A and B are shown apart, each in its own frame.
Chain A
């Protein structure tokens, strides 16, 4: 049993039998069934399960949780490309034609996406829809798109086409055929909004999650909320155990969703810089102060790898990343640090 340092300057405790392990005999609760349980309030939105987890003795916060979940529906109506009336859909419809007036939330999110795209060197790019369409043939017809098709799609990709005026709330896409898709950041944004709604209603200790890929930890008693980062797929492996206090987590992976053609595995996450599926990383998990950022960076680091993570974390303190390379080792490399997050031994 050894000490893991990796790239981390985090307090990683020495391994070895801790007293807690030996004495952690489940004695049962104090006779009160409310203690010792999680209450999960959940609702479907954005094609996944949004869930708020409260500790058992906080049942009185269920009404607040139920109200907070409404943020998910409200934002889905604004952001979803599957709804013609959403602001994003209208933006895409007006690509190359004109600008639309968007709500504060949408403008703030688009503006943040612009910043993130810049700071990740384009690894995170919400305008990559044309690329996805191009690679859609892979799934449907089982063929890899030709280089010319990819180049044509790449021509329509690029955050430079998106302009966002935070004063007037006018947003527009300058190229015809360009399109914005907030799939890589929408859930995180909704999770953050739900967390804020909970906070406004006086809830201080809760977990918010969308599917299981975007999580916000409000508060965190003892050492923090315990979250296991797992790689999906046939072997459900736990990559790391985290303790989070007032932190947001986003995770991106390709262990489950991929297509195999001619013996070659193609992941479903595309690198917007090259136009081809990202490879080399099996899981990228990011912890930061904001769930939308964490969500976006997880995708960016999945695409850009450990080098991008290092560059970003060096210049943006308060970001922690666990990047697991696709080398059968299932061992995440730890980059950066976040004050409210601890990585525990497996």
Chain B
């Protein structure tokens, strides 16, 4: 059809006017893709291992962030206790599995929480990552350095989220102490950190097998006793260092901003000579660059000191006690300690105003904080951050790189304690990615 130039011009102009709204629509689409919400409901997860620690994590799963579809544990009585946990919170029941491989194969889950004895971490985590699941694995990462490295590589290769359960990174009190006291240089120069975890009691736990003929040997535990008290056997556990020092070393590395360069150790089975293989008293000293040192002790014969991390600086001392409270002591004067407390905001008031109370003068309570620092909140934050990382790529605070520092420190320490000697700790092999 032949159009005159004027008709063509009018046609083109009209066409442009007609599609005037399309670029705006494209703009909206692009903006929504970049900044808008990411579609997806709560993450679907399964638990591998619901023993003591597993159940703590189970109880702290925020239903807005994740739904627990299934749980796998080789001990059926643990599964029953886990059911109670879910029921008490009014959450949906999770399907039981004895073998975690079954769970991975049959359940439509996106990720797993692994809370099994230490020796099994590396294998289970790597297989789950290869199966396409994101993993949150309990500390201390793996039984040996090779296992830790394997986990890290497998996560990278599969491009899945791997987080290690050092929940203190998510404890707001530690965050506040780091940002407000360490980073601001309030302590001056710190040469010494003392970390300890003292208890008065037998680490061996009593327990009943789920049934008379219960036999866990096919999973690597010759008897029920080996499974129930796995922490006391060298094959499965790295002892007090791995279970307790690892948390505190994670904090020291974080606050020192460095990784340890050597470790000295001693210890042994001094009080509970009941056939266990791991020491009940351990002492370790780690050295860092810049003349800094961290000393650690964990004993099973006295609980006076409970547990704390202390940083002794030229200007002040910081003590973080029981994961709940922090105190700052001035070096210069005899001033009373300054306390630091971090409490969740909640929906209530920032403070309550009321007449001065007798309790105030006596030194009890008062002030307005009614809830003490809640260490369980750190677990909740940790799991929530894991889910957020999977859904939106939000950054993690304790990925494999961060965890490896503490893991290597502890694994080398166990060796040093065994040999009662000093060992150099070589710097990490692979560069951080």
Contact = CB atoms under 8 A, between A and B. Distances in A.
Direct contact of A and B (CB under 8 A): yes
B181 A62 contact: yes
Contacts of B368: 51, 53, 209, 212
Interface stretch (A101-109, A120-128, A221-229, A311-319): A221-229
Contacts of B347: 24, 26
Interface stretch (B76-84, B117-125, B281-289, B357-365): B357-365
B339 to A, nearest CB: 5
A28 B388 CA distance: 11
Contacts of A49: 360, 366-367
Interface residues of A, number: 61
A48 B361 CA distance: 5
Interface string A202-231: 000001010111010000000001111111
A238 B354 CA distance: 9
Interface stretch (B132-140, B169-177, B255-263): B169-177
Given A31-B388, A40-B341, A47-B361, A225 B356 contact: no
A211 B172 contact: no
B204 to A, nearest CB: 35
A227 B341 contact: no
Contact of B354 (A61, A212, A226, A242): A212
Contact of B65 (A28, A47, A213): A28
B184 interface: yes
A37 B65 contact: no
Contacts of A61: 180
Of the listed residues B347, B352, B355, the one surrounded by the most CB atoms of chain A closer than 10 A to its CB is B355
Contacts of A256: 355, 357-358
Contact of A225 (B180, B344, B350, B361): B350
A37 B342 contact: yes
A73 B335 contact: yes
A62 B180 contact: yes
Contact of B353 (A48, A51, A212): A212
Interface string B323-363: 00000100000011111111111111111111111101101
Given A27-B64, A33-B175, A47-B360, A69 B351 contact: no
Given A28-B384, A211-B357, A256-B358, A227 B352 contact: yes
A92 B344 CA distance: 46
A85 interface: no
Which of A24, A40, A225, A254 counts the most B-chain CB atoms under 10 A from its CB? Answer: A40
Given A48-B360, A56-B345, A63-B180, A33 B172 contact: yes
B250 to A, nearest CB: 15
A88 interface: no
B348 A228 contact: yes
Contacts, number: 192
Contacts of A62: 176, 179-181, 184, 186, 340
Contact of B355 (A36, A59, A73, A253): A253
B344 A213 contact: no
Interface string B288-313: 00000000000000000000000000
Interface string A28-71: 11010110111111111101110101001001111100100110
A285 B355 CA distance: 9
A285 B176 contact: no
B381 interface: yes
Contacts of B385: 31
Contacts of B170: 33
A258 to B, nearest CB: 11
Contacts of A73: 335-336
B350 A226 contact: yes
A92 to B, nearest CB: 21
Given A37-B345, A38-B345, A251 B354 contact: yes
A134 interface: no
A213 B345 CA distance: 21
Among A31, A36, A213, the most chain B Cβ lie within 10 Å of the Cβ of A31
B269 interface: no
A138 interface: no
A283 interface: yes
A70 B369 CA distance: 21
A255 interface: yes
Given A66-B328, A209-B367, A256-B355, A42 B381 contact: no
A39 B354 contact: no
Contact of B350 (A24, A34, A53, A229): A53
Given A31-B384, A40-B367, A213-B355, A66 B338 contact: yes
Contacts of A211: 356-357, 360, 366-367
Contacts of B355: 213, 231-232, 251-257, 283
B353 A42 contact: no
Nearest to A251: B353
A48 B356 contact: yes
Contact of A42 (B64, B338, B352, B388): B338
A241 interface: yes
Contacts of B366: 48-49, 211-212
B225 interface: no
B394 interface: yes
27 contacts: A24-B347, A26-B347, A28-B62, A28-B64, A28-B380, A31-B385, A34-B172, A36-B172, A36-B345, A37-B342, A38-B342, A38-B343, A39-B176, A40-B342, A40-B343, A41-B339, A42-B338, A47-B360, A60-B183, A61-B180, A62-B176, A62-B340, A212-B360, A212-B368, A230-B354, A252-B355, A257-B355
Q: Which 9 A-B pairs have the closest CB atoms?
A: A62-B180, A253-B355, A59-B179, A59-B180, A49-B367, A228-B349, A31-B388, A48-B360, A213-B356
